[in-house]
Amino acid sequence: MATPILRLGTRGSPLALVQARMVRARLCAAHGWDEDAVEIVIITTTGDRVQDRALAEIGGKALWTKELDRALDAGEIDCAVHSMKDVETIRPVRLMIAAMLPRADVRDRLIGAASIAALRQGAVIGTSSPRRAAQMRRLRPDLRIMLFRGNVDTRLAKLAAGEVDATLLASAGLDRLGRADVGVAIPNEVMLPAPAQGAVGIECLADATRIRDWIAAIDDLPTHACVAMERAMLAALGADCHSPVAALATITASGIAMRAELLTEDGSEHVSGEAAGGIGDVGVAHDLARDLIERAPPAVRRLFTLSLDG
């Protein structure tokens, strides 16, 4: 076996492993390496260990990243693969996202009914996402939400066992796990996805220039620009992945366009808006954050803290 030249840290969930293998394949293709030049190292995170409580309840942030950060600092791995949706808004400055894979289907999928309208009166929706819960209750105030955790297979098994009437999962994860047959995609116009949904990032120490350059060679620039814009808006709102926020940036003929929505946890109030501008112009995210906060009903505004200097 060739000596591994790059150790790729990842969580051990089936989806995380598929994503790590995608990263390995792209790195090897880009650099002409053998597959065993990239060693996949599994790191268990707090979020993987705690399966029975709402993530927000565990307290403490960085549930999915802290142990990977530590392994990077300790030199146990050279880079870490993340679902960008789970990466905290504010990261330590010594780390950098050196590349993102091309974004997958950004939509959510509904599993358990043919459409949101087709759900029976009072149906129980299993989700642990404050955004999905709020968006579903905004569209259908009669729905009930049940806390639903575990990896994709666990959730599908709970649904099959009748614990809930329906659940929502990211198309990206289902597709990557070979489950493109499961559920129906909800159009972005009906349910705007989470910031960074469908994007995979590769992080390394900012001063590890050789590693950084290897990784940067596989960066998908449109994905990186859109996800950076969505994350800049989260930062401007003082929000994170537990906030009832949806946002989607897309590349247009003239630059970048972004739509976003803020809700109360129960979905009873919300505000949405859009902005456009140049690729990489963080002002687009800041303008949208400011506009949303200015127009938000007080119950929504209370959930956020505008800060535009980050």
Ligand X SMILES: NCc1[nH]cc(CCC(=O)O)c1CC(=O)O
In the complex with ligand X, which residue's Cβ is closer, 47 or 267? 47
Measured between alpha carbons, how far is 270 from 192 in angstroms, rounded to an integer?
13
Contacts 24+ apart (CB under 8 A), 288-291: 288/233, 288/258, 288/260, 289/233, 289/236, 289/237, 289/260, 290/236
CA distance 103 to 220: 8
| Among 27-35, 170-178, 223-231, 300-308, the segment contacting ligand X (CB under 6 A) | 170-178
- Residue 167 is a binding residue for ligand X (CB under 6 A): no
With CB under 6 A as the contact rule, the residue among 119, 145, 159, 169 that binds ligand X is 169
195 counts as binding ligand X under rule CB under 6 A: no
Stretch that binds ligand X, among 26-34, 69-77, 165-173, 292-300 (CB under 6 A): 165-173
**Number of residues forming the site for ligand X (CB under 6 A):** 10
Which conformational region is residue 258 in: left (phi greater than 0), alpha (psi within -120 to 50 degrees), or beta?
beta
Given the complex with ligand X, which of 8 and 16 has the nearer CB atom?
16
Do the Cβ atoms of 70 and 54 come closer than 8 Å?
A: no
Applying CB under 6 A, which of residues 10, 45, 65, 83 lies at the interface with ligand X? 83
For β-strands 79-83 and 6-10, DSSP reports them as: parallel
Among 9, 130, 195, 198, binds ligand X (CB under 6 A): 198
CB 69 within 8 A of CB 92: yes
Residue 7 makes contact with ligand X by CB under 6 A: no
Q: How far is the CB of 157 from ligand X (least distance, A)?
A: 15
Nearer to ligand X, 208 or 228 (CB): 228
CA distances from 96 to 79, 209, 277 (A): 10, 11, 25
User: Would residue 86 show up in a list of annotated catalytic residues for this protein?
Assistant: yes
Taking CB under 6 A as the rule, does residue 257 contact ligand X? no
What length is written for the chain?
310
Catalytic-role residue among 69, 78, 86, 287: 86
* Count of alpha carbons within 13 angstroms of residue 288, beta-carbon side: 30
Considering only 170, 246, 256, 275, the residue that binds ligand X (CB under 6 A) is 170
**Could you tell me the two tokens for 226?**
């859109």
- Closest contact distance (angstroms) between CB of 47 and ligand X is 8
Counting contacts by CB under 6 A, is residue 97 touching ligand X?
no
- Interacting residue with ligand X among 9, 173, 183, 201 (CB under 6 A): 173
- CB-wise, 198 or 277, nearer to ligand X? 198
- Other CB atoms closer than 10 Å to residue 16's CB: what's the count? 25
| Residue 130 binds to ligand X (criterion: CB under 6 A) | no
User: Minimum CB separation from ligand X for residue 16, in Å?
Assistant: 9
Among the listed ranges 83-91, 253-261, 264-272, 296-304, the one in contact with ligand X (CB under 6 A) is 83-91
- The C-alpha atoms of residue 103 and residue 140 are separated, in whole angstroms, by 29
Cα-based angle 16, 65, 310 (whole degrees, multiple of 5): 125
Nearest approach in angstroms of CB 86 to ligand X is: 5
Which residues are near ligand X by CB under 6 A?
83, 85-86, 169-170, 172-173, 197-199
Annotated catalytic residues are 86
